[in-house]
Every structure is written in structure tokens, then in C-alpha cells.
Amino acid sequence: MALFHFHVTQIKRSAGQSAVASAAYRSGEKLHSEYYGEDSDYTRKGGVLCSEILLPPHAPPSFADRQTLWNEVEKAERGKKAQLAYSFDIALQNEFSMQENIGLARQFLLEQFVSRGMVVDFSVHAPDKEDGGIANPHFHVMCPIRPLLPGGKWGNKQRREYLLDENGERIRDEAGKYVFNAIPTTDWGKPETLEHWREQWAVMCNARFAEKRLDCRIDHRSYERQGVEQLPTVHEGPAIRQMEARGIRTDKGDFNRWVKATNALIGKLKKKITLLLDWLKEAHEELNKPQAPNLAQLLSEYYASRSTGAWSRKAKIGNLKEFNEICNYLMQNNLTTPEQLQERVSALSDRIDILKNALSGKSDRMKELDELLRMVQFYADGKPVADKLAAIKWKGRREQFMSENENALRLYHMAERKLKPHFKDGKLPVTAWRREHDRLEQEYATGQAELSPIYAEVKKLWQIKYKVEQAVRAQENPEQSRKKQHQIDH
């Protein structure tokens, strides 16, 4: 199935990240960081199909070496909170061969990134199907944020634009310093540039789908911008998909199944409401003709006709009970005219929209909390290992211990970086996160449960619609009436 995923973040020291370590992980190589004085070894990492550095013409040839490139980036960025690189994560398509995917990725990066003077380090990843992985090819891209000047030297990220008074003189602040605005020297970080890149990637993939005469297409726009009224699922990733494929239920898998069920219910409700609104518009015109009876009169005529054709007293009593139930519903909700019926349907539609938006906000926060709690587990599992490593002084034994516990240490350091902003007085608000997640989960379930009575009322209105329509169109072809009854029942 065609998939669009195009996500960008920044690699920055303020989050405890290293450009050299990030490049080593993405390429599956061993690289040495001069800034931190440590090695990052991911040579045993699986799933890296290829990695390549693409350089603009004015870049030094030495930048073709990954370790040299990213150490130069680290050297150019002196600040403790420096922004080092852009990091892109882009999905490839299972409908294309891997050679086609790699060629398409390289063409996209050359046309959209390198042509702007950007240095590009990209790696193609794919899970190992033999180990139970589900096909999820994608490629990672790292680009230095600082631009490279024509002479091969690093340029400035920003320039100063001083504010001037009416005489053209620079304005000073209260401290006597000139006031200025910081203007980016490139357009790489602008939202419209990212939007352009996302759109162009979709255009390139869709063009290739068309060349291969495939019906599938991808769209860079969100569901909301496409006008698709659905709640988004969470990104599961290869590890979660492998577990689900082996029959192991996961929190993310359960959450996505929950969202899909809600989307199906919302879609069904919307379809019914749209059909009902169309009918109400038609019924409004019909019922507003001179001497037109109201809803109660039309329903009375419908049930009178049914009772006339009934063979048994039981059937006639059943018709009378059904008519009374509908009349009670109309009276309780003060529905006597088509206009009021239409207002009722519109109110139900608005309620569905409110519930959908509320569910979407809660699902986004639950995804964020799930990720934080996952990092807490990695941190808790890896902390004893990291403490033990810190206590080992002998180099040989230290290296052996690091090799034996590589995965636990990697997950620990990743969790430590991501949790760093959330520490307060050396502690994490884990209990508060769990309580918030439980509360949101309950609120989500409550909101989903609210959809059921709305659906039941829409169904009731749909039945009323049919009966009124039969009374208005008493002379309608019987075969057409049976078809419409089939639509309502299904």
C-alpha cells in the first residue's frame, strides 16, 4: 500500500545529541567524535542497505568522508546548545523495487537539496524480513544547518538587520545596544520550503506510479487539509509491526485498532447524515407546498395505509405502538416541521465534529505520553548498566563490558537525551504521566461511547424520513419503494 511519511527534526546539542553519533547510527558505521572524544560503533546494526554522501560543486572533496564531514560540522558549531543538522525520515514505496527506490531518493535529493548548495548524507534502511520484519523501506537524510560558502568555508546561519529610525539612524535599546532582527541566510528552515519538499516527493512518487500504471497515489497533505475526516493513527515502526505479526498485542497496535474502529463509526455516521440532509432538503421543498401537512399528519397517513393493508389485529396494534413511539420522540424533541428535523440533524453533525476534534487532541497527547513512558523504561533498565560501566576503570574490561551491553547502553543514552528536558530536581513525573494517560484513555473511551447514541438517533431519523417520504409519494412505484427500504436497513 502506498505510504506518505516525510518527517524532519533537528539534531542539536541542547538535546544531548551528536552529529557524528547520529551519522554513525544511520550509516551503520564506526565513527570517532573529536568534540566528545568517543567512538560510536554501529557496524553490527542490520538493515542498512546503502549510504552515500552527495556534495555540491563548491564543497571540499574531503567532505565525501563521513567522519571528516561531521567532525567539521561539530568543529564549526561552538555553542553548547548549537543546532547541528537537519534530520529527515522519508518512507519509500513497496510498489517499487529497491533499486528504483534508491534511484528515486538520490534524484530527489540532488534536485531539491544539493541544487540549493546543501551537503547531503543519506542512508537507506529496510527491516530483515527473515527475522519477521514487515516491509517498511525508508531513508534517512542528514544536512548541516550552517551553509557552505562558494570557497568551501562555513558561512553564517543568520545575518543582522538593524532597525532604523525616521532619519535612517540605528536604534538603540535601553542598554545602549543596537536593536536588530536575526534573518536566516538560507530558506532551508522555512515552513514553505518544507512544504515544497514534501509536495515534490509526493509528485515524484506519483509520477513513478503513473509510469508503472499503478492506481495508488500518495498525498503530502494532512487528513484535515485533504478534507478527510479521520483520526490519525500512531506510527508503529518495524519493532511493533514484528511483534504484531507474531501475534503479540502491543499498546500502539491496540491504540491503532481503537482509532480505526472510531474512524469507521464516524464515517458511517457522516454518510447517513449526508444522505439524511439531502432528503430533508428535498422533503422541505415538498412539504412547503400550499396545504402541505406537518410531520405528524404525514406519519398518520403512512400508518393508516399500513393498518388498512394489515391482515391481523396484532399487526394493526403493532403499527399503532410504532406510530405512538415516533410521535413521542417528535414531541420530546419538539420536531414538527422539516426545518426542525434538519436543524436536529445539523446539531448531530456538529456534535460529531466536536467529538472528533476532542478525540484527536487526546490521541495526540496519549502518543506523546506513550513515547515518554517508553523512554522511562529504557532509562530505568539501562541506568544500572551505565552505573556499572562508570565504575570500571580498566580499559580492556571496560571495552568488553560496553560490547556485551551495547544495546542496553544505546537505549539508555537515547532515553537520557530525550528525557533530559523533563527532569526536575533529578526526578521525572512518571506517576503524573501515567495518571494523565489513564485519564485521557478513559476520556477517549467516554467520547467514543457518546457516538453510539448519536448513531441510534440518526437511524431513528432515517426511519422517520422513509415513512414521511412514503406518505408524500403515495403514488410512487412499489419497486422503487422496496429499493429505498433496502438502503435504510443497510
- For residue 172, tell me if it sits in a domain: no
Q: Determine the Cα–Cα distance for residues 368 and 361; give it in Å rounded to an integer.
A: 11
215 with 279, same domain: the answer is: no
Confirm if 266 and 358 have CB atoms less than 8 A apart: no
Q: Do 245 and 101 lie in a common domain?
A: no
Beta partners for residue 148, in sequence order:
154
Question: Does any domain span residue 324?
Answer: no
Binning pLDDT at 50, 70 and 90, where does residue 165 land? confident
Per-residue confidence band for 292, with pLDDT thresholds at 50, 70 and 90: very low
Residue 176 lies inside a defined structural domain of this protein: no
CA–CA distance, 227 with 137 (Å, rounded to integer):
28
If asked whether residues 261 and 206 sit together in one domain, one would say no
Cα separation values, 402 from 254, 385, 395, 473, Å: 35, 9, 10, 82
Question: Of 157, 185, 220, which one is at a domain's C-terminal end?
Answer: 220
Q: Are 81 and 4 members of one domain? A: yes
The pLDDT value recorded for residue 107 is 96
Residue 174 covered by a domain:
no
Band (179; pLDDT cuts 50, 70, 90): confident
Kindly report the backbone phi and psi dihedral angles of residue 442, in degrees, each rounded to the nearest multiple of 5, phi listed first.
-65, -45
Residue 119, helix vs strand vs coil:
coil
| pLDDT score, position 277 | 76
Residues 216 and 78 in one domain: yes
pLDDT tens profile 402-444: 899 989 988 999 898 989 999 999 899 999 999 999 999 999 8
Report the candidate in 39, 42, 43 with the shortest Cα–Cα distance to residue 18.
39
Cβ–Cβ < 8 Å for 172, 112: no
Q: Looking at the structure, do residues 438 and 345 belong to the same domain, yes or no?
A: yes
Same-domain status, 214 and 244: no
Q: Are residues 110 and 251 located together in one domain of the fold?
A: no
Q: Residue length, the chain?
A: 490
Instruction: Assess whether 477 and 417 both reside in one domain.
Output: yes
- Residue 128 confidence (pLDDT): 60
Range in 265-269, 355-359, 367-371, 391-395 with the lowest mean pLDDT: 265-269
Share of the chain above pLDDT 90, in %: 42
DSSP 8-state secondary structure symbol assigned to residue 172:
B
Mean pLDDT value across residues 113-131: 84
What domain range is 240 assigned to?
235-294+337-490
- For the chain, the domain total comes to 2
Q: Is 145 exposed, middle or buried (0-12, 13-18, 19+ CB in 10 A)?
A: buried
Q: Which of 130, 127, 156 is nearest to 144 (CA)?
A: 156
Instruction: Provide φ and ψ at 59, rounded to 5°.
Output: -80, 145
The DSSP code for 148 is B
Buried b (16+ CB within 10 A) or exposed e, 44-60: ebebbeebbbbbbeebe
Q: Is 64 within a domain?
A: yes
Q: What is the pLDDT of residues 193-236, one digit of tens each?
A: 999 999 999 999 999 999 999 888 888 776 555 555 555 666 66
Least confident of 85-89, 112-116, 285-289, 439-443: 285-289
For residues 264 and 395, membership in a common domain is answered with yes
Query: Is the C-alpha dihedral spanning 66, 68, 72, 74 positive or negative?
Result: positive
Average pLDDT on 15-36 reads 94
Residue 21 is inside which H or E element, if any?
Answer: helix 19-27
65 or 246: which leads in pLDDT:
65
Q: Is residue 63 part of a domain?
A: yes
The pTM of the whole model exceeds 0.85: no
475: confidence class by pLDDT, cuts 50, 70, 90: very low
Q: Do the domain assignments include residue 185?
A: no
* Residue 172 confidence (pLDDT) above 90: no
Sheet containing 6-12: give its strands across: 6-12, 83-91, 138-144, 120-125, 48-54
Q: What is the model's pLDDT at position 132?
A: 44
Do 287 and 197 belong together in one domain? no
Residue 159 located in a structural domain:
no
Q: For position 238, what pLDDT does the model report? A: 60
Where residue 47 sits, what CATH number does that domain have? 3.30.930.30
Whether the predicted pLDDT of 29 surpasses 90: yes
Same-domain pairing of 199 and 280: no
> Of 156, 185, 220, which marks where a domain is finished?
220
pLDDT in tens, 300-339: 777 777 777 666 778 777 777 888 888 888 888 888 776 7
